[in-house]
Chains A and B, each alone.
Chain A
């Protein structure tokens, strides 16, 4: 256990050192991550104002709160691993990963978490600025904020496992970007990034709830905004836990099959 901790600490150090080498790209990346929710926020504010300040259970201020919280949750759960794997397999750097006596997922998790830690202050600053600009309405419910901590952790884990598995598609095909594109479109709509899920037609809501998408982003946002009953919060955490377990199983199976395919052909 302490060996694993040591490994994570070293990975944090190397990722931080590597990222700090490229401060400019870090800022650009940050701007991109603020810009996307900002666009939806502006659109929905306009829609809401023209409809007398309210659309489907959200006031203009609540829209602002929704997208600001969404931005932070998205930041915490986001991964970029799908772009990485294709490169690793094509350039053969995966070979070195396979020859190390540790599972490569550890370095990816550590890398992901450390890059987020370093950009978190920037994101929080952006959230404060947006709050000053758009005057969001928050309904702070203490128990829900507490429950959001495990929800965020599970959401991160779930999204990481799903996207890591999808990244492994690179073992079989060189056209990973087509798969990624499909996934991102689904994620955009079904995880509540374009609009709160409750505003979408009920069949789509049902799909988002049945699939892992709602649990990856939308659920912690709903929780933080105090829009869920305790019963729904509990059910949501349970759904997240089930999906994480399934995700772990999936990662294991796909990883094994992928490595088998890779070692048949070689990198």
Chain B
């Protein structure tokens, strides 16, 4: 529909803050009685001045440990939470006003909560959403067919939600949330608790939806496989602050001081500790950790000194990188 200009951001966040005021008290009866008279409150900065923009059609991974402020940010973006300070606009709307034209263009999927009605067949919940979002009958049919095919929902539609497995339910949740073809999709841990195959299928679907509809997707996940498969760009937050915003590869580059060299030698007799830190040696494959700057030199020496059958240089797994990012900042 081209409401937003091509180069204006779809999502705009500037210096966003959210502070919760929570009451706290020590354990015990005395403290309980004291709190009746004087309630001590504490201010918790869940989001503490973050800024980033998303352009149309991007899929961005929104990463951070538990309590980093990811869900709080997603709730401010979708309009469930009122920011304490700062600017947010999504598709030109101020989310917390929750204007109907805005709500018709976005969706929020929370992996830990469900919106489908428990006792009735999935298709009935879909029909309800059709009425809620005022989807034209012909558009509804087309979208439903497409989603049914992509997510393989065929045999699930007539079953009551309570009879579905977790993975089946999640597929249906996602379909229900996309029937109105939102331009902006917020996904909060969409693959949580799912097995690897189902995770992969949902991942594939998100990529396909993004490709077909051009929707902008902001996704949180604790599974780095999701992030690697879907997101070129990641935004990392921790303790409510922005740690990193850029390409996933740049994140790896910036936060890894080491590379992993795997050498195939045929046996484990040689001691390679003079080349680097030996991580493991199994069935003739030796894994070495070396400082990034020395990778080329070590590789050269290994090839020159030893009867190497095969040699590969790898970045450390993304989980490890992320762990390091959080660990550095948490101190």
Task: Give A residues with C-beta under 8 Å from B.
Answer: 3, 6-7, 9-11, 13-14, 17-18, 21-22, 91-93, 95-96, 98-102, 260, 263-267
Contacts and interface: CB of A to CB of B under 8 A. Distances in A.
A17 B124 contact: yes
Nearest to B118: A18
A215 B174 CA distance: 46
A115 B162 CA distance: 21
Nearest to B112: A92
B61 interface: no
Contacts of B81: 263-264, 266
Contact of B96 (A10, A91, A100, A263): A263
Contact of A101 (B78, B103, B160): B103
Nearest to B133: A101
A267 B103 contact: no
B70 to A, nearest CB: 13
A10 B126 CA distance: 10
Contacts of A265: 20
26 contacts: A3-B134, A6-B134, A9-B131, A10-B127, A13-B127, A13-B128, A14-B128, A17-B119, A17-B120, A22-B119, A92-B113, A93-B113, A95-B75, A96-B113, A96-B115, A98-B98, A99-B80, A99-B103, A99-B107, A100-B133, A101-B100, A263-B79, A263-B81, A263-B82, A264-B81, A266-B20
Instruction: State the 6 A-B residue pairs at the shortest beta-carbon distance, nearest first.
Output: A10-B131, A101-B103, A101-B100, A96-B115, A17-B120, A263-B82
B121 interface: yes
A18 B100 CA distance: 28
A74 B94 CA distance: 44
B287 interface: no
B115 A14 contact: no
A148 to B, nearest CB: 32
A21 B128 contact: no
B75 A266 contact: yes
A18 B117 contact: yes
Nearest to B82: A263
B89 interface: no
Contacts of B45: none
A7 B106 CA distance: 20
A265 B75 CA distance: 11
A21 B119 contact: yes
A171 to B, nearest CB: 14
A102 B125 CA distance: 15
B119 A18 contact: yes
A7 B131 contact: yes
Contacts of A102: 100, 132
Nearest to A97: B115
B260 interface: no
A7 B104 CA distance: 15
Nearest to A265: B20
Interface of B: 20, 72, 75, 78-82, 96, 98, 100-101, 103-104, 106-108, 110, 113, 115, 117-121, 124-125, 127-128, 130-134, 160
A9 B124 CA distance: 12
A64 to B, nearest CB: 38
B119 A10 contact: no
A14 B113 contact: no
Given A17-B119, A266-B80, 11 more contacts: A3-B131, A13-B127, A14-B120, A21-B120, A22-B119, A95-B110, A100-B133, A101-B100, A101-B133, A263-B79, A263-B80
Contacts of A11: 128, 131
B271 to A, nearest CB: 57
Given A14-B125, A263-B80, A100 B103 contact: yes
Contacts of B75: 95, 266
A102 B132 CA distance: 7
Nearest to A19: B119
Contacts of A266: 20, 72, 75, 80-81
Contact of B130 (A10, A98, A99): A10
B80 A14 contact: no
A264 B75 CA distance: 11
A265 B72 CA distance: 10
A37 to B, nearest CB: 30
A264 B20 CA distance: 8
Contacts of B127: 10, 13-14
Most buried by B among A14, A98, A99, A265: A99
A18 B116 CA distance: 12
A100 B132 contact: yes
Contacts of A92: 113
Contacts of B108: 95, 99
Contact of A98 (B80, B110, B117): B80
Contacts of A13: 124, 127-128
B203 to A, nearest CB: 23
Nearest to B20: A265
Contacts of B20: 265-266
